[in-house]
């Protein structure tokens, strides 16, 4: 088979491992702490649902929460270029931690870069 659905390639278990490693970093990042809830349990649960469908798996996020409208859902938070960079750094480090490598990682990460840049809705604090 030439094309594998990315969700099948990573698998449910590895995806949740990745996102747990990601939020562990978000919880410690000085630029991200102020906008995230203290308890990230529910945030992690929703992100697993979202990434499952983002990678071509079952539409778990939409089934429970409706249309993703990600940019609109991020409007209550100041998403600055620096915060987008911080978010992506947490993700890249999480990918290192769980051993995501090669073409799969490259393509997935580049897609997250585009989505993260699309979420930006405010200038940096000092600008």
Which residues sit at the interface with ligand HEM, rule CB under 6 A? 35-37, 42-43, 46-47, 50, 54, 65, 70, 73-74, 77, 79, 83-84, 87, 112, 115-116, 119
Tell the smallest beta-carbon distance from residue 50 to ligand HEM (Å). Answer: 3
Half-sphere exposure of residue 82, counting CA atoms within 13 Å on the CB side?
10
Report CA-CA distances (Å) from 19 to 15, 73, 102, 126, 127: 6, 19, 18, 30, 31
Residue 40 and residue 24: Cα distance in Å, rounded?
A: 9
Tell the smallest beta-carbon distance from residue 83 to ligand HEM (Å). Answer: 4
Judged by beta carbon, residue 16 or residue 43, the one nearer ligand HEM is 43
Judged by beta carbon, residue 2 or residue 24, the one nearer ligand HEM is 24
Judged by beta carbon, residue 95 or residue 116, the one nearer ligand HEM is 116
**Centroid of chain to Cα 55:** 11
Tell the smallest beta-carbon distance from residue 94 to ligand HEM (Å). Answer: 13
Residue 59 and residue 5: Cα distance in Å, rounded?
A: 14
């Amino acid at each position: 088979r030439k094309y594998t659905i990315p969700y099948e390639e990573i698998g449910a278990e590895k995806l949740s491992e990745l996102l747990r490693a990601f939020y562990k970093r978000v919880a410690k990042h000085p630029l991200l702490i102020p906008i995230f809830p203290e308890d990230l349990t529910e945030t992690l649960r929703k992100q697993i649902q979202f990434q499952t469908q983002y990678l071509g798996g079952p539409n778990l996020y939409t089934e429970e929460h409706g249309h993703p409208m990600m940019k609109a859902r991020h409007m209550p938070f100041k998403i600055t270029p620096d915060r987008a960079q911080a978010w992506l750094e947490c993700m890249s480090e999480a990918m290192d931690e769980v051993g995501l490598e090669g073409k799969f990682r490259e393509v997935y990460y580049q897609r997250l870069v585009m989505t993260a840049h699309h979420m930006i809705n405010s200038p940096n604090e000092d600008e």
